Amino acid sequence: MTDRSRSPYRSGRRGPGKGGGQPGRPAPAPGTAVRRVAYDVLRAVQERDAYANLLLPAKLKDRGLDGRDAALATELTYGTLRRQGTYDAILDACVDRSLSSVDAEVLPLLRLGAHQLLSTKIPPHAAVSATVNVARRAVGQHRARFANAVLRKVGARDLEAWTGIVAPDRTADPAGHLAVVHSHPRWVVEALAAALGDDLAGGLAETESLLAAHNERPGVTLLAKPGRASVADLVEGGAQAARYSPHAAYLAEGDPALVREVRQRRAAVQDEASQMVALALARVRAKGADARWLDACAGPGGKSALLAGLAGQRDARLLSAEVQPARAGLVASAVERSVRDAARVVVADSTRPAWRDGAFDRVLADVPCTGLGALRRRPEARWRRTPETAGELAPLQTALLERALDAARPGGVVAYVTCSPHLPETSGIVEPVLAARADAELLRAADHLPEVDGVAAGRDGMYAQFWPHRHGTDAMFLALIRKRG
């Protein structure tokens, strides 16, 4: 964290605050307004762990930015977050003292300027001048001069030249090299390499492909809620039928909210891998009754929306449980008007369930996790965790899987799902739980995903693991477990 008290760049005179100007000053030019939105989001992410995907749309609306301006603000925000680690290594070489001594208010400006200079087609003089204009309004003239000086040093070389200088040698330190070049913490690079089974001695070639995929702008995938919309409806509106899910379509461009079916809540944005893990649970052959389904960690409701439609088509019923009331409200909205009104939503803690054991035929436990599988969409997540904090969720993940198994009847099936490929959150949870129980057996998950190549993972290929660089999806993990009886 930045130690403001030691910063050599602090001015005794404070600049204007977040408001973007002082009385008597002219309104900012459009280019400055766009960069001010990006800066405000970057600063909020850094200082209070705000979520860019939630804050940015609100900022754009508040500042009245749309069209090209909104698109540029979005690119500047997400591009800077994705490449933050690379830019920090370069900035550290351009600051006379340690980068950790730079004010917390200034650092997002330097990263924002570096992104424009090194990864966009914005002319260098425009990138520097517009960013310095934001600095004058946001942090004052003194620190704006400092930002100007640093960014001029950054602009003296291109990205390839800079990474050749600041990145460790690939042969001597492949993980360290990839961490700088592809902007991930070293521990994340090593964790992803372990999940892929990629060998350090081989230079981590597949790991590099994955890291590169994390830094690409992801496409938008839509879910046509079963019984309420069809893929044909979405294709008619300009989308393209998806590769794997029979309920998915890709939106090449434009705002999903402008799609008729999305406006009518008959379709929603949902990653294709998220759809496929829910479909896999629904595809397992039921032994006996198939009338009662449970989504034990339902918020914000994407998988519940799919399961509710499938359940309704089979005359089954879905109970969607969510511990946080606000998220339970999102689930209720997602499943509203499902086929046969199949879903019910409850505010409940699934580690201390209100339902009796053995009550359900199918159970989905999509547990809270580090989110390392969704780094394309939430690039800031890579900077929020450390090796120490990454394991903090393990007791909760274990408890949720154990209670999910308790909730399933003999012959029923449980899907354990994470949006993370990190081994301590995937097989590291499943295997100890199953080893301690005689009433559960692992099913081969890939057998229920026949349309997806290269998804089998883990010991004997019993798990399913999606990957951005292989499948164009988030890195969703799935274990399917049958309750013995």
Catalytic positions, written as ranges: 419
- Which is nearest to 420 in space by CA: 361, 351, 370? 370
String of DSSP letters for 328-367: HHHHHHHHTT-GGG-EEEEE--TTS-SSPTT-EEEEEEE-
HEC readout, 38-92: HHHHHHHHHHHCCCHHHHHHHHHHHHCCCHHHHHHHHHHHHHHHHCHHHHHHHHH
Cα torsion through 423, 406, 298, 480, rounded to 10: 50
- Which is nearest to 44 in space by CA: 26, 22, 67, 62? 62
Place of tokens 């089974």: 197
User: Which pair of tokens denotes residue 420?
Assistant: 């993370």
Q: Is the peptide bond before 8 cis (omega within 30 degrees of 0)?
A: no
Cα(243)–Cα(232) distance, integer angstroms = 14
Buried b (16+ CB within 10 A) or exposed e, 413-452: bbbbbbbbbbebbbbebbeebbeeeeebebbebbebbeeb
Place of tokens 């739980």: 433
Place of tokens 């918020």: 299
CA neighbours within 13 Å on the CB side: how many for 203? 5
What is the number of other CB atoms lying within 10 angstroms of the CB of residue 47? 14
Place of tokens 């992410």: 45
String of DSSP letters for 220-286: EEEEE-TTT--HHHHHHTT-EE-SS-TTEEEE-SS-GGGSHHHHTTSEEE--HHHHHHHHHHHHSPP
Contacts of 102 (CB under 8 A, 6+ apart): 2, 7, 9, 91, 95, 110
